[in-house]
Chains A and B, each alone.
Chain A
Amino acid sequence: MQDEHSLVREAQQGNAGAFAKIYETYFDRVFRYVVVRVGNTAEAEDITQDVFLRALDSIRSFQWRGVPFSAWLFRIAHNLLTDRLRSRGRHEEIALDDEMPLADTRQDPSAFVEIKISVEQMLVSMQNLTDAQRQVLALRFGSGLSITETAEAMKKNEGAIKALQHSAVQALRRHLARAPTATGKQP
């Protein structure tokens, strides 16, 4: 099995097939990251596409130097998000839509209510966090990055990321607790 290092190197050398595999590997993870950050599917779709187009344009400038490729890619996503939000003059606005893609749980209506509410509650509550808290949760929970990769992506040390993660989960808990969950239980 080819490792990510050689795959990235080949993509840098112009191998489109290698880049296509990178794209497939990261597409869903980047999308989830962006959705968690912006809470808006339409905008998340635009930004996700732009992340990969930007990565395609600049992959030759990527140098390993101890930085995981995932950290570099999610930095691009972060920068695009920041630019987008700044250009629109919005930082904490939430625009949840009705078309939020959710897993189909039609066979279990009770589960559908639970999951649908969970996603929306989670996204709404996320908007009450600080940008850094939202970012750490998006990277760790949305995209499945390790603590090391998250630290690289956010340009902080691991200890700071763990502390930030702790405060983010606490803050999320506080906001979730204000609204009853689907099952009527409060975390």
Chain B
Amino acid sequence: MTAQQRMDDILNECIDRLARGETVEACLARYPEHAPELRPLLLVARATLTATAQITPRAEFRMAARHRFLDALAARHAREREAFLSGPWLRRWGAVTAGVALLVVIGSGTVAAAETSLPLEPLYTVKQATEAFQVALAPEGSAKAKVYAQLAARRLEEISTLARQGDVQSVDQLTSQFEGHLDNATLAVTRTSPERTAASESAPAPAATPASSAAPATAPVTATPSVSPVQAAQPAASPTPSAAPAAAPVTATPIASVPPAQAVRPAASPTPSAAPAARPAAPAATPTPVARPTPATGPAIRQPAATPTVPAGAKEKAPVKAVKPAAHPSAQNLRDVHDVVKRNAEQQIAVLEKSLREAPAPAKPALERALEKANKKYSQAIRSLEKLEQREQEREDRRDR
């Protein structure tokens, strides 16, 4: 190895260390013999990391881009469906059918239309994508818990609708997805609670479910909360414009969270995925701050805290910790989540019971299983939330005293 290559390696290693939050001085201490040459380069590297971490998309652009992307997803599925339908047996109708189908599907109400779609329908995949965005957008804590709670209720609505139609093909899968969503709702507030250790013991352990049952939006918040580079770079006392309600959720998106995503397959995608879907894991007792997932291929640059460039020789401040923990939910927040879950439980159980009475006989066994699981899972979730709420209330009372 030549001296030049050695220097390339050292600089590269130091850049990775800076990106992980190490100080310039600490890097220089590792290579004192190269310090005179390294120092100015590392100061530039540090300044560049800090500057690039400040670049963040406008909230309006982020929203517009997301809508455009969802429309493109819908259009792609429309095209695939058209290709499926315009086989030889339908070819003579193809042009007309495809044109009409595309016009209908790509219309401005695509995403809205997808809201009421059911598994195996073409727009269901758009619904899944929209839900994944909703989860990603929601700030950690009680807001994300409420999103999960609503998704859980949605799955039960779908079960009721399908069962009344006599279609039980997807009921078991939807039931598992419902359970995953409700687990995630509880975990979302458990994880951010100061009582997490005790609470996680009482929180319902995510049920082991078949690999094919996890819905895209059952993405659990990872036990190791991670932050986007932008978030990592925010000075604690200086929230970015994107910390406003419209954009803050995105900076809170758990980048490292690569959740289970096996979906109920739409008709146009007949090949079922054999991918094993991990169920949401119980939260770790002590979350480890991680700025970004480390690729298997090697250490990636992580954005450092946004600290000003330090002149050579000056003593550097310790970098701002990369992870800004989500504010733990207050008793009121927990009460809100509890109320949502309880209200959903009452409504959805009633609907399921009504569907059970009205459903055709062949659909009843699957519906009974769904009802039993819904009762059990809601009871667990409500108990867990009550405990969390009670503990938090006691903690707040102690603090007030």
CB under 8 Å from chain B, chain A span 102-143: 102-108, 111, 114-115, 118-119, 121-122, 137, 140-142
B278 lies within 8 A of chain A by Cβ: yes
| Contact A7 B258, beta carbon cutoff 8 Å | yes
| Contact B65 A187, beta carbon cutoff 8 Å | no
Q: What are the residues of chain A within 8 A of B62 when measuring CB–CB?
A: 27
| Contact A17 B69, beta carbon cutoff 8 Å | no
Q: What are the residues of chain A within 8 A of B45 when measuring CB–CB?
A: 141, 169
| Contact A56 B55, beta carbon cutoff 8 Å | no
| Contact A35 B69, beta carbon cutoff 8 Å | no
| Contact A9 B273, beta carbon cutoff 8 Å | yes
Grouping DSSP codes into helix (H, G, I), strand (E, B) and loop, the A interface class, with mixed when no group exceeds half, is: helix
The segment from A46-54, A73-81, A82-90 that touches chain B is A46-54
Q: What are the residues of chain B within 8 A of A152 when measuring CB–CB?
A: 297
Instruction: Output the least CB separation between A9 and chain B (Å).
Output: 6
Q: Complex formed: what's the CA distance from A182 to B240 in Å?
A: 20
* Given A10-B273, A144-B302, A149-B295, residue A101 in contact with residue B129 (CB < 8 A): no
A94 lies within 8 A of chain B by Cβ: no
* Given A25-B255, A119-B51, residue A145 in contact with residue B300 (CB < 8 A): yes
Q: What are the residues of chain B within 8 A of A170 when measuring CB–CB?
A: 41
- Classify chain B's interface size: 35 or more
Q: What are the residues of chain B within 8 A of A149 when measuring CB–CB?
A: 295, 297-298, 300
| Contact A1 B258, beta carbon cutoff 8 Å | yes
| Contact B44 A118, beta carbon cutoff 8 Å | no
| Contact B229 A144, beta carbon cutoff 8 Å | yes
Of the listed residues A20, A24, A107, the one surrounded by the most CB atoms of chain B closer than 10 A to its CB is A20
A166 lies within 8 A of chain B by Cβ: yes
A63 lies within 8 A of chain B by Cβ: no
Interface string of B247-263 (1 = CB under 8 A from A): 00010010111111111
Given B253, B261, B301, which contacts A145 in the complex, CB threshold below 8 Å? B301
Instruction: Output the least CB separation between A65 and chain B (Å).
Output: 13
Of the listed residues A19, A52, A70, A107, the one surrounded by the most CB atoms of chain B closer than 10 A to its CB is A19
| Contact A187 B259, beta carbon cutoff 8 Å | no
| Contact B308 A2, beta carbon cutoff 8 Å | no
Given B136, B235, B294, which contacts A105 in the complex, CB threshold below 8 Å? B235
A18 lies within 8 A of chain B by Cβ: yes
Q: What are the residues of chain A within 8 A of B217 when measuring CB–CB?
A: 17
| Contact B50 A118, beta carbon cutoff 8 Å | yes
Q: What are the residues of chain B within 8 A of A111 when measuring CB–CB?
A: 235, 238, 306, 308
- The total of Cβ contacts below 8 Å across the A-B interface reads 287
| Contact A176 B44, beta carbon cutoff 8 Å | yes
Of the listed residues B216, B278, B281, the one surrounded by the most CB atoms of chain A closer than 10 A to its CB is B216
B59 closest partner in A (C-beta): A101
Interface string of B173-216 (1 = CB under 8 A from A): 00000000000000000000000000000000000000000011
| Contact B58 A101, beta carbon cutoff 8 Å | yes
Q: Complex formed: what's the CA distance from A77 to B342 in Å?
A: 47
| Contact A18 B261, beta carbon cutoff 8 Å | yes
Q: Complex formed: what's the CA distance from A7 to B51 in Å?
A: 31
| Contact A172 B133, beta carbon cutoff 8 Å | no
A45 closest partner in B (C-beta): B61
B275 lies within 8 A of chain A by Cβ: yes
Q: What are the residues of chain A within 8 A of B125 when measuring CB–CB?
A: 14-17
B376 lies within 8 A of chain A by Cβ: no
Q: What are the residues of chain A within 8 A of B263 when measuring CB–CB?
A: 10, 15-18
Q: Complex formed: what's the CA distance from A104 to B238 in Å?
A: 6
Q: Complex formed: what's the CA distance from A162 to B16 in Å?
A: 12
Q: Complex formed: what's the CA distance from A36 to B66 in Å?
A: 22
| Contact A115 B50, beta carbon cutoff 8 Å | yes
Instruction: Output the least CB separation between A66 and chain B (Å).
Output: 9
The segment from B139-147, B264-272, B346-354, B393-401 that touches chain A is B264-272
The segment from B3-11, B158-166, B359-367 that touches chain A is B3-11
Given B54, B61, B229, B238, which contacts A29 in the complex, CB threshold below 8 Å? B229
| Contact A106 B44, beta carbon cutoff 8 Å | no
Q: What are the residues of chain B within 8 A of A14 when measuring CB–CB?
A: 77, 80, 125, 265-266, 268-269
Give me 7 A-to-B residue pairs in the complex whose CB atoms sit less than 8 angstroms apart, sorted by A's number. A10-B275, A29-B229, A53-B68, A103-B238, A104-B238, A111-B308, A162-B12
Q: Which 10 pairs of residues, A with B, have the shortest CB-CB distance?
A: A17-B216, A148-B297, A17-B128, A14-B269, A16-B129, A162-B8, A20-B132, A16-B125, A146-B298, A146-B300
